[in-house]
A = this chain, B = another copy of it.
Amino acid sequence: MSEHISKQFDAELETARAKILAMAGLVEEQFGHAMQALEGGDLELIDKVIETENQVNAMHVEIDDDVMHIIARRQPAASDLRMVLTVNKVVNDLERIGDKACKISRRAKQIYGGGRVNVPRMSDLTYQSNIALSMLRTALDGFARLDPSVAGTVAREDIKLDEEFKAIQRQLITYMMEDPRTISLALEIIEIAKAIERVGDHAKNIAEYLVYLVKGIDVRHSPVEEIEKQAR
């Protein structure tokens, strides 16, 4: 490859990486806003989160198109190809995280639509979403620095997050049983808790792809000990 072509290729690859990091920043913010809006019953912020969906979707389509063109024109190999294929996968997880942020906001709109409501287990949801947000930041920070060692931490946190979800669900079942009039509201909260739990799953996916990207080892479907070992 001539130096000129090689430089151009590096630039294209860097652009794709920069775009995915920009998309990551956007959905991270979207998720943070969704939780903030839920906590404060802020209808304006709720709408803002939902409106961001179009922007996230456009980035999803654009980045996939970039991937296609980079492969077609540049025929990347080895670690460059792994980067491009990782981008092709990670973009889906980011889009799903944005989707969950919207889902939380739609539920929040439903909850606050009729006026002020005391959201049951709100402090638990905040605690749970802080874990998910921290997982997401850790995974994305690892992706930006090409540091796969974060995957072990993220996988461990995901176990904690799943347990948090189950605890919230159990508490809401008790709440519903004590007062069946709260069933609809409690179901909305369970859906929100589930959406937060799924954000953690996507952060874990991103961290796993990072191990593949840097080390060439596929740790998806592996137990946490194996992920920790390979991520080191």
Contact = CB atoms under 8 A, between A and B. Distances in A.
Interface of A: 57, 60-61, 64-65, 67-68, 71-72, 75, 77-78, 81-82, 85, 88-89, 92, 169, 173, 176-177, 180-181, 183-184, 187, 190, 218, 220-221
A71 B83 CA distance: 13
B61 A220 contact: yes
Contacts of A173: 183-184, 187
A65 B218 contact: yes
7 contacts: A57-B221, A64-B85, A64-B218, A88-B89, A176-B183, A177-B180, A177-B181
Contacts of A65: 218
Contacts of A184: 173
Contact of A71 (B64, B71, B183): B71
